[in-house]
Chains A and B, each alone.
Chain A
Amino acid sequence: DAGVTQSPTHLIKTRGQQVTLRCSPKSGHDTVSWYQQALGQGPQFIFQYYEEEERQRGNFPDRFSGHQFPNYSSELNVNALLLGDSALYLCASSWGTGGGEKLFFGSGTQLSVL
Chain B
Amino acid sequence: GESVGLHLPTLSVQEGDNSIINCAYSNSASDYFIWYKQESGKGPQFIIDIRSNMDKRQGQRVTVLLNKTVKHLSLQIAATQPGDSAVYFCAENYPGNQFYFGTGTSLTVIP
Q: Provide the residues of chain B in CB contact with A107, threshold 8 Å.
A: 41-43
Interface residues of chain A: helix, strand, loop or mixed (majority):
loop
A56-B97, A100-B95 are known contacts. Are A43 and B44 too (CB-CB below 8 A)?
yes
Q: How many A residues are at the interface, by size bracket?
A: 20 to 34
With both chains docked as a complex, state the minimum distance between the C-beta of A59 and any C-beta of chain B, in angstroms: 11
Q: Provide the residues of chain B in CB contact with A98, threshold 8 Å.
A: 95-96
Is residue B93 within 8 Å, beta carbon to beta carbon, of the partner chain?
Answer: yes
With both chains docked as a complex, state the minimum distance between the C-beta of B50 and any C-beta of chain A, in angstroms: 11
A41-B103, A43-B44 are known contacts. Are A100 and B98 too (CB-CB below 8 A)?
no
Measured in the bound complex, the distance between the Cα atoms of B98 and A97 in whole Å is 9
The answer to whether A99 and B94 touch across the interface, beta carbons within 8 angstroms, is yes
Is residue A42 within 8 Å, beta carbon to beta carbon, of the partner chain?
Answer: yes
Q: Provide the residues of chain B in CB contact with A33, threshold 8 Å.
A: 98-99
Q: How many B residues are at the interface, by size bracket?
A: 20 to 34
With both chains docked as a complex, state the minimum distance between the C-beta of B6 and any C-beta of chain A, in angstroms: 8
The answer to whether A42 and B103 touch across the interface, beta carbons within 8 angstroms, is yes
Q: Provide the residues of chain B in CB contact with A106, threshold 8 Å.
A: 43
The answer to whether A42 and B43 touch across the interface, beta carbons within 8 angstroms, is no
Q: Which residues on B are within 8 Å of A, measured CB to CB?
A: 8, 31-32, 34, 36, 41-46, 49, 51, 89, 91, 93-104
A/B pair count, beta carbons within 8 Å: 62
Residue of A with least CB distance to B95 = A99
The answer to whether A100 and B46 touch across the interface, beta carbons within 8 angstroms, is no
A48-B98, A100-B32 are known contacts. Are A105 and B45 too (CB-CB below 8 A)?
yes
Measured in the bound complex, the distance between the Cα atoms of B31 and A102 in whole Å is 13
With both chains docked as a complex, state the minimum distance between the C-beta of A87 and any C-beta of chain B, in angstroms: 13
Q: Provide the residues of chain A in CB contact with B99, threshold 8 Å.
A: 33, 45, 103
Measured in the bound complex, the distance between the Cα atoms of B97 and A108 in whole Å is 22
Interface 1/0 per residue, A22-64 and B, CB below 8 Å: 0000000000010100001111110010000000101000000
Contact of B93 among A35, A44, A100 (CB under 8 A): A100
Residue of B with least CB distance to A4 = B43
With both chains docked as a complex, state the minimum distance between the C-beta of B95 and any C-beta of chain A, in angstroms: 5
Residues of A71-114 at the interface with B, using a CB-CB cut-off of 8 Å, are 90, 97-100, 102-108, 110
